[in-house]
Every structure is written in C-alpha cells, then in structure tokens.
Amino acid sequence: MPILENKTIRVTGMRCAHCKRAVESMVRKLSGVETVAADVDSGTVTVSYNAEQVDTEAIEGAIVGAGCDILG
C-alpha cells in the first residue's frame, strides 16, 4: 500500500469558484494524486499524493498551468 504525503501550497491568482475548479481539475489529472482541495479564501491548495508516482514540482506545475502562481 502506498504511503501518502500531504502538502499545502500557498497560491495567488485564485479568485473565484471557476479558478478553484480549474486548479482542482488540473491537479486531479496527475497520476498519484489522491485528493486535492483548493481554498479561494485562504489561497491554498492542499494535496494528498503518492510521492512514488508524482512529485511536488509536477503538482505546482499543474497549479501554474491552471493560471495561478506559487507563493514561496
């Protein structure tokens, strides 16, 4: 059974429900992502994933691909 890791990524540019859905959709497409929850109010994306299948660079790339920027 894979060990899941959890990461919360701070983002900017996610302003509405459409942005939230776009981010969640892009991240969810990655193999190894179990759950993703974007929060417009806090500007965060929380992801549970199998680190043997996907890394944080790929997850952050999907977020950027959805139109958001990653905050340090």
Q: Taking the CA of residue 45 as centre, how many other CA atoms within 13 Å lie in the half-sphere pointing to its CB? A: 33
Please report the pLDDT score of residue 67 as a whole number: 96
Please report the pLDDT score of residue 36 as a whole number: 98
Judge whether residue 2 has pLDDT over 80: no
DSSP H helices, the chain, are 17-28, 56-65
User: 1, 45 in Cβ contact below 8 A?
Assistant: no
Please report the pLDDT score of residue 72 as a whole number: 75
Q: Per-residue pLDDT tens for 10-22? A: 999 999 999 999 9
User: 59, 11 in Cβ contact below 8 A?
Assistant: no
Please report the pLDDT score of residue 71 as a whole number: 95
Q: Taking the CA of residue 19 as centre, how many other CA atoms within 13 Å lie in the half-sphere pointing to its CB? A: 18
Q: Per-residue pLDDT tens for 8-67? A: 999 999 999 999 999 999 999 999 999 999 999 999 999 999 999 999 999 999 999 999
Domain boundaries, the chain: 4-70
| CATH number listed for the domain at residues 4-70 | 3.30.70.100
